[in-house]
Structure 1
Amino acid sequence: MNEFIVSGVFRAGSSREQFKKIVSSQNKKNAIEKVYSLLGSEHGLKRNLIEIADISELGESGAE
């Protein structure tokens, strides 16, 4: 599996908080879904409160 860095902002009350998550996933689409799931469970957020700004691939995990 590849590792992705997903960054963006989410609304927390009246302010906006930045986040950066590193997730293992097969592709970018699944990485985005995983971030929605993680932020939703950690902060009680709905998807419309999460704005993903950038996603980049780190490379294959365990290949070093």
Structure 2
Amino acid sequence: MSEFTVRGRYPARYGQQAFETTVDAPNENVAEERVYANFGSQHGLKRTQIEIDGVDA
């Protein structure tokens, strides 16, 4: 598995909160899905609320 860095934004109390997280995944699509799942469970967000700006290997 490769390590991907995912950058994006999600709505917080006082506007948009930027994030950058590192995820182990076999490809970029799976890395995005894991970010959606993690932020959804940790912050109670829906997929439509999370904006992914980019994925780097």
TM-score, structure 2 normalization = 0.94
Task: Name stretches of at least 5 consecutive residues in structure 1 with no aligned partner.
Answer: 58-64
Task: Name stretches of at least 5 consecutive residues in structure 2 with no aligned partner.
Answer: none
Per-residue deviation, residues 3-23 of structure 1 (Å, max 9, x unmatched): 000001001245110001100
Equivalent in the alignment of 2:7: 7
TM-score, structure 1 normalization = 0.84
Q: Which amino acid aligns with 1:5?
A: T
In structure 2, distance between residues paired with 1:15 and 1:41: 20
Moved over 3 A (4+): none
Residue 24 of structure 1 and its aligned partner are, at CA, apart by 0.1
Q: Which amino acid aligns with 2:9?
A: V
Over the matched positions of the two proteins, sequence identity in percent amounts to: 40
Equivalent in the alignment of 2:37: 37
